[in-house]
Amino acid sequence: MDKVNVLGVNFDNKTFNQFQNEFVKRLNDHESTFIVTANPEIVMAANENPEFMKILQQDADYITADGIGIVKAAKMLGKQLPERVTGYDLFLWFMKIANERGLRVYLIGAKPEVIHAVQAKIAKNYKNINLVGAEDGYFRQDLDLVAHRIAKAQPDMVFAALGFPKQEKLLAILRRNLTPAIMMGVGGSFDVFSGQVKRAPGIFQKTHLEWFYRLITNPTRFKRMMVLPKFVVRVHQFKRGNK
C-alpha cells in the first residue's frame, strides 16, 4: 500500500531510507518536489481548514509521519506505517546532501536572531552550501511575491519555517509554478538547528516522548498539546464510521 489515510491526509507508506532514495532521484532529475512532514496537529488543522486540506491532498508530493501519534493512529485504523520520519531528521539529512554537492539552498522563517544563527552555523559547518537566500519570517509581502523572489534565486532546496499552514501555502505556490527544487516546511527546526532551542535528549526520542519533553521545558505549549486527545477521539470516530 503506497498511501495510508489518516483523517483525510494520505501519508506515504515508506521508511526513512526509502524516502531518501526517492528524494535523491528527484533531486538528480531536478523535479519539483513538495514535502510535508505532518503530525497530529497538522492533521487536525487540515480537518478544520478546507484550504489547508486541499494543499495536502492536491499539492504535496510526499507526506511523512512526523510523530509517533500518526503511526499509532494508522495502527488503530488497521493500517501500517513503518516508522515516523521527522521533519528535523529530514532537514539534517538534506543539509548534509546539500553540503556534499555544493547545492543552492534558500531558507525562510523564524525570528531574525534565529535565522542569523542558522547562517552562522552553515558558514562554519556546511561550508560547501551555497546559501542563496536566508530571511526571517516577519515579511509583510504577499506570498506570491515571496514565492517569486525565492524562485528567482534558483534554489535546489527551499526550507520554510513559518509554521503551518503558512509555510505550506508558500511552498504550494512554488510547487504549482513547477519550481525545480526540493521544498519542505520545517516548523521549529531552525530554532533547534541554530541551538536556540534544545532537541529532546535521546531517551525521549527513543521512547517517542519528545512531545512531553517540549511540554515540560516549555509549559506554554500546553494549549497546543490539547489537540492530541482530540486527535485520538477523532481517529476513534473515524474508525467507527468506516466499519
Give the pLDDT confidence of 40-65 residue by residue, as tens digits: 999 999 999 999 999 999 999 999 99
Supply the pLDDT for residue 227: 77
Q: Is the peptide bond before 112 cis (omega within 30 degrees of 0)?
A: no
Q: Write down the pTM of the prediction.
A: 0.89
pLDDT confidence bin for 215, thresholds 50/70/90:
low
Q: Read off the pLDDT of each residue in 130-135 and give the average, rounded to a whole number.
A: 98
Per-residue pLDDT of 9-30, as tens digits, reads 999 999 999 999 999 999 999 9
When pLDDT is averaged across residues 169-178 and rounded to a whole number, the result is 98
Task: Please state, for a pLDDT cut of 70, what percent of the chain lies above it.
Answer: 86
Q: Provide the pLDDT confidence category of residue 198 given band limits of 50, 70 and 90.
A: low
- Distances from the Cα of 218 to the Cα of 17, 153, 190, 196, 208, angstroms: 32, 36, 17, 13, 17
- Average per-residue pLDDT for the chain: 90
C-alpha pair distances (Å), 76 with each of 71, 81, 146: 9, 11, 40
**Band of pLDDT at residue 138, cut at 50, 70 and 90:** very high
Only one residue has cell 516548523, namely 187
